[in-house]
Chain A
């Protein structure tokens, strides 16, 4: 039984992690690399006219454009960095393998309690997982671009972990509860971390343009949803197939 739990989760997690990594490299990484030019000072948000940054010219500027903000808005961020992007693929697979192991544990627990889990329901399991580990924490701490102002890392990690745990329990109670005796506490648990509030910095002094940060957050969440739906469908398919 243990080997079936492990194999379903690890195969599904590796596949979902690979999907997430490819989407990240295609859609999220270019925004991140662009932001790092502001974080490192190669580009400056609201550069004064005539305030030229010649060291950025070879990285980003199209010389046909007028120098300044217009040229910096869409630098070419194409191209793979083999070691950096290879590590991203590896860690994406590790993260989603971890999520898959937690997901298959929850699915087995639900089955033990008499809730049949079919391959189709993987869609719901995946969406619920996405809500618990990405959407709910993002409501308080949006996916951060490098260089953004942020509160103390340990405080944010504690808030993140608490939010994920409370949201997961809340979703379980909503899904499997049969009355308001389960649903009412679920709403309280889901709302609690947001009523307490996520740790935020005292001053907003990040050097990156808000346009990039907004695009980054939207895309990170979109990629997360796709990867989690794939993870849910694959995990339940492999798990229920092994049972037959």
Chain B
């Protein structure tokens, strides 16, 4: 048990860093895939359709 916790401590990533990358990822996916802005929609149109995002 001690070895396990020591091993996992060696590779542990801070929750703050995990939250930051997840938040950036969510913003990216939302902007490229879901945001209903006219300009974004037109630019991302084909990718949104082909990647299965709801579109139009």
Contact = CB atoms under 8 A, between A and B. Distances in A.
B12 A98 contact: no
Interface string B14-49: 110111111011111111111010000001111111
A84 to B, nearest CB: 7
Interface of A: 1-2, 5-6, 9, 20-21, 24, 28-29, 32, 84-85, 87-88, 90-92, 94-95, 97-106, 108-109, 111-114, 133-134, 137-138, 141-146, 150, 153-154, 156-157, 159-161, 216, 220-221, 223-224, 243
Given A1-B14, A5-B17, A144 B49 contact: yes
B52 A134 contact: yes
A90 B5 CA distance: 42
Contact of B32 (A2, A94, A112, A133): A94
Interface SS of chain A: helix, strand, loop or mixed?
Answer: helix
B7 to A, nearest CB: 8
Interface residues of B, number: 40
Interface of B: 4-5, 8, 11-15, 17-22, 24-34, 36, 43-56
B52 to A, nearest CB: 4
Contacts of B30: 98
A143 B56 CA distance: 12
Contacts of B48: 91
Contact of A102 (B22, B44, B49, B52): B22
